[in-house]
Structure 1
Amino acid sequence: MELQNGADKESLSGSSFLVTGGAGFIGSSLVAYLLNNGARRVRVLDNFSTGFRSNLDEFSSHPGFELIEGDIRDLQTCRDAAKGMRFVFHEAALGSVPRSIHDPVTTNEVNISGFLNMLVAARDEGVKRMVYAASSSTYGDSVELPKVEDRIGRPLSPYAVTKYVNELYADVFARTYGMELIGLRYFNVFGPKQNPAGAYAAVIPKFIEALMNHESPVINGDGEYSRDFTYIDNVIQMNMRAVFTDFAPAVNQTYNVAFGQQTSLNELTSYLKRYLCDYDPLIANVPIEYGQQRLGDIPHSLASIDKAQQMLDYSPRFSVETGLQETVRWFVKKKELATIQQAV
């Protein structure tokens, strides 16, 4: 990832960063961006419940990299991780609507109690600013499109409840303790290194892996549900805009992070088959299967990115199509490398 506007070499080289959940998909992408662009010090806090050590292997010998294996549900661990850090990117969470429906207690403990611990730690350790992962699930049953930050509905899952509570806590801590906090409502982020395995895998890597194995992807419902799929590099840009902005009115706000385009699941699978056929023409013949609609899913999601554009000069560079091409290329290369290693 190339250097984003608003995050020059000087600002990175003079700063220290804590990335919670830094072994996860978004967290490790942030770590890679920071270290590859000259950040002085990057510390990761992760308990590896959903993240992978392999996502951090390339930085294990980097002089500016530090890893703390620990859990955000422990306040002292959070304090230790925040000590000496100028900025915090809080990405640690238990994602997935279905997971939260299956196990609301653990989702609550990690996403609410863990978030509160990080707020307290950032306050007590004098962190300048914390940028945290909010979620588009906060819009709940609102049918308004596009989604605008100050108009939300009722949550449709325990996960959505936890992410909305994060925003409420951030608002209270900003007003009560004078903290600088910015929430980023992610809309269906995808890209390289995203995990295709497990019961709660995101749809894009899961579909890519299925198609590469000539297996039918299973779409929940009729495929006409739509999402604002957002490539990881756009998300990194937004995080950099948020952490380095010196525009005071932009701080202590919540922003949509998206591309601003609706794509149905049927359109998504069509794109994936088209791009994967460049590497394996037989994928064109793999049929798509349709299953039951998933509990807690909203029919359609589309973000307004006007606020982010106006307040933070956000300018997403990767469309859904371009991002999917980059993602497919990465997964194909990964499979080719695995095949070579097996042969050896």
Structure 2
Amino acid sequence: MTEACALRRCTAATKKDVNRMRKSIEGSNILVTGGAGFIGSHLVDRLLDKGAASVVVIDNMFLGKEENLADAIKRGAILYKEDAEDKEALSRMIEEHAVDIVFNLATKALNYSFIDPCDAFETNVVVIGNLLELQRAGAFSTLCHFSSSEVYGTAVYEPMDEKHPYNPTTTYAGGKAAADIMLRTYVNMFDLDAFIVRPFNNYGPRQNAEPPMAAIIPLTAKRIMDGIAPEIHGTGKQSRDFIYVLDTVDAVIDLFDKMEKGQEVNISANGNTSMEDVITKISTYMGYEGEIVRKPRRGADVDCHNATNALVKSMIDFKIRSFDEGLAETLDWYKENL
């Protein structure tokens, strides 16, 4: 056997050993930062479905809502309305609940970075720094960190993969990119069991619909329901790789015991839809036939997100809804809940 072959075999064995040593979701005590928010609350539901021994949520309620966790709390989830930027609060919860695994979704909305750019950046960095330092001290064993497709900025090439360069266009995205880099360096320096999942443009039930923090789908639905004309900013040709939130959290659950230390994986629908098409689809589904207002392009807007999901499909049985199917489910939810 050549030295190179022996090294590859040894490396493969080491990766398998890492995954065998990682505690499974079932039977573990889990902390979810930002767990009362849009994606976080759906993740909490799925963690309970998977048999977690306990699920603890910390959320400063910036956009989180207790009602997002209504069913989860009935099933035993515990909500702390505190801030993950407070290291002492994090430490106390992790120790009190003997946390094994942390899922980090604590952040502030992209639109908030136009209101307080410095704070939007710092939230991402401070929270991941707190968690990595606590993990380095042995407070918990595994960290799954949620990044964002915004770290890539506009596509330099299509389809975008995990090797796509970082080119953040907002301080929100800059903070997300810095958090990713911090995690990778801690893994390299201290051999922590931490990894990165990077969802592209999530949509679905529970996504905030209140301006100025709302994303395009809930905001447009709400405007139509309130009798206000929807808006297209710029040409409307800007595109996003939309993925339904439940498809994202299902992928994260399935990826959990397959991710290597320091690995990052994009979670996307493998296609893109223009903002103009999104507005048209929402208007058609909701029976809106009125004016669509044209407004100037927003500063720092990303022109194109179009990602490949080849890596995630090679790791798990990755099933996703079509955009039309997911959009219909989402709009039906808004009709019932807004």
Partner of 1:144: 157
**CA drift at 1:24:** 0.4
Indicate the SS of the match to 1:56: helix
**Residues 1:289 and 2:302 aligned together:** no
**CA drift at 1:61:** 3.6
Superposed CA offset, 1:30-68 (max 9, x none): 112222443220000111122112212233343x32222
8 Å CA contact retained: 2:156, 2:164 = no
Unaligned runs of 5+ in 1: 1-9, 278-282, 336-344
The 5-angstrom pairing of residues 6-45 of structure 1 reads 11-45=24-58
Q: d(CA) in 2 for partners of 1:132 and 1:109?
A: 16
**CA drift at 1:221:** 0.9
Q: d(CA) in 1 for partners of 2:24 and 2:261?
A: 18
The 5-angstrom pairing of residues 118-267 of structure 1 reads 118-245=131-258, 250-267=260-277
Equivalent position amino acid for 1:267 in 2: D
8 Å CA contact retained: 2:272, 2:305 = yes
Q: d(CA) in 2 for partners of 1:242 and 1:127?
A: 19
Partner of 1:331: 334
Aligned residues: 314
**Residues 1:73 and 2:85 aligned together:** yes
Which has the higher mean CA deviation after the structures are superposed, 28-37 or 16-25? 28-37
Equivalent position amino acid for 1:21 in 2: G
Indicate the SS of the match to 2:159: coil
Identity %: 28
Q: d(CA) in 2 for partners of 1:196 and 1:287?
A: 20
Equivalent position amino acid for 2:198 in 1: R
**Residues 1:268 and 2:286 aligned together:** no
TM-score normalised by the chain length of structure 2 = 0.87
Q: d(CA) in 1 for partners of 2:317 and 2:190?
A: 28
Partner of 1:320: 323
**CA drift at 1:21:** 0.3
Check 1:242–1:79 CA distance in 2 against 1; reply closer, same or farther (3 A cut): farther
Equivalent position amino acid for 1:195 in 2: N
Check 1:50–1:334 CA distance in 2 against 1; reply closer, same or farther (3 A cut): closer
**Residues 1:92 and 2:98 aligned together:** no
8 Å CA contact retained: 1:130, 1:243 = no
TM-score normalised by the chain length of structure 1 = 0.86
Indicate the SS of the match to 2:265: strand
8 Å CA contact retained: 1:46, 1:92 = yes
Unaligned runs of 5+ in 2: 1-22
Indicate the SS of the match to 2:198: strand
Equivalent position amino acid for 1:60 in 2: I
